[in-house]
Amino acid sequence: MSPEFSGNGYHRKSIQRDTWAMLEIAKQEGIETVWDRLAKQQPQCGYCSLGTSCRICSMGPCRVDPFGDGPQKGVCGADADIIVARNLARSIAAGASSHSDHGRDILETLHMVGEGKTDVYKISDPQKLHRLAVEYGLSVEGKNDQELAKELAWEMMEDYGMRREKLPLARRAPRSRQEIWEKTGVYPRGVDRENVEALHRTHMGVDNDWVNILLHAVRTSLSDGWGGSMIATELSDTLFGVPTPKMSQVNLGVLRKDMVNIILHGHNPMLSEVIVAASQDPELIALAREKGAQGVNLAGVCCTGNEVLMRKGIPMAGNHLMQELCILTGAVELMVVDYQCIMPAVTEVAKCFHTKVISTFDKAKFPGAEHVHFDPEHGLEIGKQIVRSAIENYTRRVPERVYIPVEPVPMMTGFSIEAVLGALGGSPQPLIDAIVQGSIRGAVGIVGCNNPKIKQDLGHTELTRRLIENDILVVVTGCATVADAKAGLMTPEAADLAGPGLRAVCKALGIPPVLHFGSCVDNTRILVLAAALANALGVDINALPLAGAAPEWYSEKAVAIGTYVVASGIYTVLGVAPPIFGSPNIVKLLTEGLEGVFGATFAVEPDPNRAAVLIRRHIERKRAGLGLSALNPDNIAMPESELALA
């Protein structure tokens, strides 16, 4: 740790120097952050942590004491299994709804493009539009992009309703996977249908069979992964462009002392895309110069940041735990937010500086923020209004309070499936060959958030290092991306940190050992790639040497993601314990029982080094199952004996 920050405990909160510097500012100025509020919440409720508290109806709230002499049942008679299952199902429904409603917003924009009702959005990737139209069974002959956009949007709107028996995009999964979903009754039908049914079933006195509740929770999550989230990714690519590899930068050093800084925060790229366009408007750049700035600088936070990073190379200021801290630099004129993962606290921190916070979606308003109603029909005009507002605010900046504590770190981004296949020469075969030969042992998706209960970015970066050292390719989305990029793991030069096999592959292709796949909805790119690999090998996804990990997750969306990933056949390790431990039956089902149903389970392991061992063992087991080369013990970068893993 740098000497100026030692002795103040910041190293227990984060591994990042820019975080330490901003925590020092917060301390000096008496500004509360997420870590202070977590401390004030201690001790957090044990019943809630175990998942055995219930406030579904007004006969409660109730709590069940699974390990002591307290009540064993709620007022209605629900036991720990029912209460934990209901709570988990509701979390999954909330997470799935969040992603899927985001997908719906993009879908409505596609429809608007089809109807010629927007001044700004257009089809940026006609090939993808055509591929999707064909996948949905539409005839494409003689139709222009606008007509196809309208027809495809109309078809996809059905994915949200109740007329479908099966979501069309789920057909991308291997046939054997779909058969498992059919047999267990979890094949997703309509996105809205599964989410509404999840809320219905978890009302008091409806579904009281905990296994049955959880099966529907799985179906709900699949309607997200192979439905709402996949629609969000596919249509964002169609409208805003399929990402291609490019270099960018990350950390608080991407903010500029001499420019108007705008932070883009949230998840939906519709608004951020128009702000990128508006920030390049010559009139607005001239206005910025008039106000004494060199221009307008954009930087991302959270998944909106990931979206514009992937497609436009806009740098990232930080991940989830940086949203308050970037304001503490004193260099942010404006934070524009859409929805999800935006702490209400940002407006409080902004009040201590000149920073303006603008909310934009009518479904996500924030006390203390100015609300500018976002209307996709007139997107560019609104984007310009917001950028102008930031420029006007530049004159209120207090130069003496500006402190940008670090230099930015380079990173490579833009690995869509199309880009990965492009790097491989147009086919997944070279990747399959590398896995078969053992130069790449397998691949792991490290996804998800930060959580102040975990030292910021330690879980992501330690796990990533251990895996790439062991020739395991890592793909990242969401906040994990920023963690790994800040640690210098996402440049082609980072190949030197990988084991010999992965290093050679990365050097030959000029790619990092950690590939950026995008935002949280873009976890569906991982599903699509896994399905393509499984189909190419003629096996189900669960036979592949793959795993998932969410070392620092916090959100309900992460619960939905983890569930659809496991139900798709990919073993997943969580770094934060979910609130299920009040039901030993449910713990056993999720960590063991699911193997016999979906061929994959969850594991919970907060120590990233131990998580890496679990994952490596899993990958080697899967390789053995496929008859692929076994690991040479001399090539293990982290002897298991050192970790004494039980």
- Minimum distance from residue 322 beta carbon to ligand MSK (Å): 10
Q: What number of chain residues touch ligand SF4 (CB under 6 A)?
A: 14
Nearer to ligand SF4, 304 or 583 (CB): 583
- Minimum distance from residue 516 beta carbon to ligand MSK (Å): 13
Nearer to ligand SF4, 81 or 224 (CB): 81
Q: Which residues pair with 250 in a beta bridge?
A: 316, 409
Q: Choose among ligand SF4, ligand MSK, none what residue 302 binds, the Cβ cut-off being 5 to 8 Å by kind.
A: ligand MSK
- Residues 6 or more apart whose CB falls under 8 angstroms from that of 204 comprise 56, 57, 59, 76, 78
The answer to whether 199 contacts ligand SF4 (rule: CB under 6 A) is no
- Other Cβ atoms within 10 Å of 200 Cβ, number: 11
- Minimum distance from residue 212 beta carbon to ligand SF4 (Å): 17
The piece of 59-67, 175-183, 268-276, 372-380 that touches ligand SF4 (CB under 6 A) is: 59-67
The answer to whether 64 contacts ligand MSK (rule: CB under 6 A) is no
Q: Is 211 helix (H, G, I), strand (E, B) or coil?
A: helix
Q: What is the dihedral of CA 526, 532, 533, 538, to 10 degrees?
A: 140
The answer to whether 95 contacts ligand MSK (rule: CB under 6 A) is no
Task: Please check whether residue 102 is in contact with residue 230, taking contact to mean a CB–CB distance below 8 angstroms.
Answer: no
Q: Choose among ligand SF4, ligand MSK, none what residue 555 binds, the Cβ cut-off being 5 to 8 Å by kind.
A: ligand MSK
The answer to whether 448 contacts ligand MSK (rule: CB under 6 A) is yes
Nearer to ligand SF4, 59 or 286 (CB): 59
Task: Please check whether residue 414 is in contact with residue 244, taking contact to mean a CB–CB distance below 8 angstroms.
Answer: yes
Nearer to ligand SF4, 199 or 421 (CB): 199
Residue choice 478, 499, 562, 608 for contact with ligand MSK (CB under 6 A): 478
> In one letter, which amino acid is 486?
K
Task: Please check whether residue 213 is in contact with residue 198, taking contact to mean a CB–CB distance below 8 angstroms.
Answer: no
d(CA 265, CA 262): 10
Q: What is the DSSP string of 118-149?
A: -SS---S-HHHHHHHHHHTT---TT--HHHHH
The answer to whether 555 contacts ligand MSK (rule: CB under 6 A) is yes
The answer to whether 85 contacts ligand SF4 (rule: CB under 6 A) is no
Q: Choose among ligand SF4, ligand MSK, none what residue 16 binds, the Cβ cut-off being 5 to 8 Å by kind.
A: none
- Minimum distance from residue 59 beta carbon to ligand SF4 (Å): 4
The answer to whether 341 contacts ligand MSK (rule: CB under 6 A) is yes
Nearer to ligand SF4, 202 or 268 (CB): 202
The answer to whether 60 contacts ligand SF4 (rule: CB under 6 A) is yes
Task: Please check whether residue 449 is in contact with residue 340, taking contact to mean a CB–CB distance below 8 angstroms.
Answer: no
Residue choice 104, 193, 356, 557 for contact with ligand MSK (CB under 6 A): 557
Q: Choose among ligand SF4, ligand MSK, none what residue 265 binds, the Cβ cut-off being 5 to 8 Å by kind.
A: none
- Minimum distance from residue 526 beta carbon to ligand MSK (Å): 14
Q: What does the block give as tokens for 286?
A: 């001239």
d(CA 279, CA 262): 9
The answer to whether 61 contacts ligand SF4 (rule: CB under 6 A) is yes
Q: Which residues pair with 475 in a beta bridge?
A: 445, 515
Residue choice 15, 26, 50, 54 for contact with ligand SF4 (CB under 6 A): 54
d(CA 55, CA 221): 23
Query: Residue 249: which H helix or E strand, with range?
Result: strand 246-250
The answer to whether 213 contacts ligand SF4 (rule: CB under 6 A) is no
Q: Which residues pair with 85 in a beta bridge?
A: none
Q: What is the DSSP string of 14-46?
A: BS-HHHHHHHHHHHHHT---HHHHHHHTPSPPH
Q: Choose among ligand MSK, ligand SF4, none what residue 62 binds, the Cβ cut-off being 5 to 8 Å by kind.
A: ligand SF4
Q: What does the block give as tokens for 513?
A: 């050992």
Q: What is the widest separation between alpha-carbon atoms in the chain?
A: 73
- Residue among 251, 197, 201 at smallest CA distance from 220: 197
Residue choice 75, 138, 352, 372 for contact with ligand SF4 (CB under 6 A): 75
- Minimum distance from residue 205 beta carbon to ligand SF4 (Å): 8
Q: Choose among ligand SF4, ligand MSK, none what residue 60 binds, the Cβ cut-off being 5 to 8 Å by kind.
A: ligand SF4
φ, ψ of residue 371 to 5 degrees: the values are -105, 125
Binding to ligand MSK (CB under 6 A): which residues in 215-274? Answer: 267
- Residues 6 or more apart whose CB falls under 8 angstroms from that of 196 comprise none
Residue choice 302, 468, 509, 530 for contact with ligand MSK (CB under 6 A): 302
- Minimum distance from residue 347 beta carbon to ligand MSK (Å): 18
d(CA 642, CA 117): 63
- Other Cβ atoms within 10 Å of 583 Cβ, number: 26
Q: Choose among ligand MSK, ligand SF4, none what residue 520 binds, the Cβ cut-off being 5 to 8 Å by kind.
A: ligand MSK
Q: Choose among ligand SF4, ligand MSK, none what residue 479 binds, the Cβ cut-off being 5 to 8 Å by kind.
A: ligand MSK
Q: What does the block give as tokens for 123?
A: 């089809």
The answer to whether 200 contacts ligand SF4 (rule: CB under 6 A) is no
d(CA 241, CA 126): 9
Binding site for ligand SF4 (CB under 6 A): 54-57, 59-62, 74-76, 78, 83, 204
Binding site for ligand MSK (CB under 6 A): 267, 302-303, 319-320, 341, 448-449, 478-479, 520, 555, 557
